[in-house]
Structure 1
């Protein structure tokens, strides 16, 4: 087949994927199968020659053009089919799995993703980029996108299973989070003590479970999040809030687009702001349950830890702590910080933090744009209990709801997350990110508290 024949065939396929759904589905399946067959005929990504890499990339890119065109025309019809006319509420991982089964060639199958998870990030095909294309189109749809956001606000099955025991005992010991209720306060302690509370898929699952339990327990009025004491040799016996994404896990291929990056933003962080969806209240009232949230920063809040603070009602920091979003060093997008940080600190400071890697120390004046109180360690615990007492009671929950709505409309958040889904998936597989996280992962532990630390 000549190059002109290939171009003509591709043009015909582009026209076909914009026609009626069943015909378009068949074209996407065929293109995906051809690309998969080609990739299987080549050596593994890490062992390909320059020419083989170019051949693979050309085929992958051509197929992605078809997938994007297909979704441009059919995203809402696809979503309606997967969710039975928006009567089923599928979370992002469930939705991606359903799409792989119902629309072959559109997104990677579970078998393909499982095979990739066993590989270092640098040796993968980058199949999650196809999930990024899919979720970009779903989220930017004015019908499908809000429905998916709603699905992600619903409590997880894990939380619902643990709720009776938590209501009875006031305790839940999760793998990386300890949850304890004292009076009307749910205390979430981040306890990944050997890795400075660096985040991975497990920590996201545990945090969403703990947030759900806090929101669903009618006794609780305030949620308090704080890092526990570390066993890491450089910080042994000291509290640390969070070192952000676990770069060793990212380098090893263990950070998932759906189970970590999208679930984190659309799941528990969104629930901190908007509450958990229950469908218990009458239809004319709000169907979400909200609570007040307080964060306490000991040591540092790096990357995802700093992102998290932007979702809290009240933030207290130790006087010797600092905040940072080292996106420039890592090369990935710092969650929804690009969306939220500017309104907190202004555009110039936001660019300094995100683009130039500026750290904000709790002792400097600009820190008051991100934290509400700064205290030396002897006074920190007292300040925490005073803040908890002030925020108990439901009288100001309505004002909290209205403040959050004024600051961040669901549609604006949805639009941001649509683009985030694609851009973050691309960054995960970019050569500069793979190189940077490889160097971070190989680096020795930091020698001082003022140095970024990862698991």
Structure 2
């Protein structure tokens, strides 16, 4: 195994113990069989080594996370997205954050056969987001428009249409219509859909000719729902089982990227920036058939939620074994604590016409009346006063500092859940099922 000298850091007295603990883990990984082939004794040995290294990482970051973040961002003069931040940290502090090579090796394996390097990313990002200075800067960096959206913007301004692999964006009469079109998998989310959603949300926010955004599911080709519109089946469990759902590129990018932009808007240079730092717009969600898991999570950030009378909502976090994004942070303020526990901990399904569902849904309509209801909702939210008032409502209901603190803990807890034995067993069973 090639040895790497410890890099110079702001705290040389603390670093050697972390470096040595990380080197021991690397040595074991290099000599032991792959995770699936290890004996109980070997698993215990490497678990002990990983725990020791992670203890050192937590101690190091508790004292020095802001110094580390300042070095990576050149004193917070660079805006690094979360995926860029962990990449830069791996290059600058290789014992602190897993390298691209280690992550690539893990990514090529099924979830059950991975080393779990993403847990170390979770430790790092928990510390960054836990810092009022570094965490706030990272949240702002994630509100900036993506490079892909900026490249597509001129063509979208000209044509009013953008087709991505999983979402179609169309501009009609001052409104943006985002249609999730993963017709084969019931709009189950994976990294591609997260990337596409952030792109089209950016475009809708950046286009000055758009006043309101609408999100709806398209018609499905899935055998059980052929020809029907479906909102979302949540996380793609087959992708999770295959090891293709990552902590950073999917779970954190989703929450800190397009969903947070639905709440706060996009941070960009714009006319009138002295009045408000971000460009934000009102959003409407139209639910057909069901909104499961991540699909239900989305509804909590929309300004108006329509649902077909035969549709339902569910957030089966306990069944899947993972943390449902910021759902735990947001659902209770809609339904109250008892219903949120029933939904999240016990998998309760809310049918659109139930009284408790009306705490999440604004308007229930017959399925064949959904198009007309969407049109009416768009007209209601065109008022210039809507943007200012939604901004004030969001500040009151979801203060940025509370969101930052929640996401700090989420970064680690979700990383741990990804590698929980119960999660691995469950997604293995679900992977072979149709939704």
Name the TM tier (shorter chain).
Answer: over 0.9
- Give a deviation string over 1:67-92, Cα, whole Å, max 9, x none: 11110111000000000000000011
Which of 89, 97, 111 is the matching residue for 1:107? Answer: 97
Other-structure match for 2:198:
208
Aligned residues: 429
Moved more, 332-341 or 373-382: 373-382
- Give a deviation string over 1:88-112, Cα, whole Å, max 9, x none: 0001110000000000111111111
Alignment of 1:267-416 (within 5 A): 267-281=257-271, 284-416=274-406
Alignment of 1:107-256 (within 5 A): 107-256=97-246
What's the TM-score once normalised by structure 1's chain length?
0.92
Are the counterparts in 1 of residues 282 and 386 from structure 2 also a CA contact under 8 Å? no
Partner Cα separation in structure 2 for residue 169 and residue 307 of structure 1: 31
Are the counterparts in 2 of residues 221 and 394 from structure 1 also a CA contact under 8 Å? no
Partner Cα separation in structure 1 for residue 227 and residue 251 of structure 2: 30
Q: CA deviation at 1:282?
A: 5.9
Is residue 421 of structure 2 the alignment partner of residue 439 of structure 1?
no
Partner Cα separation in structure 1 for residue 306 and residue 364 of structure 2: 6
Are the counterparts in 2 of residues 140 and 415 from structure 1 also a CA contact under 8 Å? yes
Partner Cα separation in structure 1 for residue 101 and residue 45 of structure 2: 24
Is residue 51 of structure 2 the alignment partner of residue 61 of structure 1?
yes
Is residue 27 of structure 2 the alignment partner of residue 37 of structure 1?
yes
Partner Cα separation in structure 2 for residue 290 and residue 195 of structure 1: 31
Residues 85/244 of structure 1: CA separation in 2 closer, same or farther (3 Å cut): same
What's the TM-score once normalised by structure 2's chain length?
0.97
Q: CA deviation at 1:39?
A: 1.2
Residues 353/54 of structure 1: CA separation in 2 closer, same or farther (3 Å cut): same
Partner Cα separation in structure 1 for residue 166 and residue 10 of structure 2: 48
Partner Cα separation in structure 2 for residue 126 and residue 277 of structure 1: 33
Other-structure match for 1:51:
41
Q: CA deviation at 1:26?
A: 4.6
- What 5-or-longer segments of structure 2 have no aligned partner? 1-5
Partner Cα separation in structure 2 for residue 411 and residue 69 of structure 1: 23
Q: What's the secondary structure of 1:395's corresponding residue?
A: helix
Other-structure match for 1:450:
none
Partner Cα separation in structure 2 for residue 348 and residue 395 of structure 1: 34
- Give a deviation string over 1:226-257, Cα, whole Å, max 9, x none: 00000001101100000000000000000010
Moved more, 390-399 or 289-298: 390-399
Partner Cα separation in structure 1 for residue 370 and residue 154 of structure 2: 33
Q: What's the secondary structure of 2:395's corresponding residue?
A: helix
- What 5-or-longer segments of structure 1 have no aligned partner? 1-15, 446-452
- Give a deviation string over 1:2-42, Cα, whole Å, max 9, x none: xxxxxxxxxxxxxx99x952443454333322211111100
Q: What's the secondary structure of 1:66's corresponding residue?
A: helix
Q: CA deviation at 1:128?
A: 0.1
Q: CA deviation at 1:442?
A: 2.1
Q: CA deviation at 1:269?
A: 0.3
- Give a deviation string over 1:311-346, Cα, whole Å, max 9, x none: 100000000000000001011000001000000000
Partner Cα separation in structure 2 for residue 140 and residue 183 of structure 1: 42
Residues 260/242 of structure 1: CA separation in 2 closer, same or farther (3 Å cut): same
Are the counterparts in 1 of residues 21 and 49 from structure 2 also a CA contact under 8 Å? no
Partner Cα separation in structure 2 for residue 232 and residue 378 of structure 1: 21
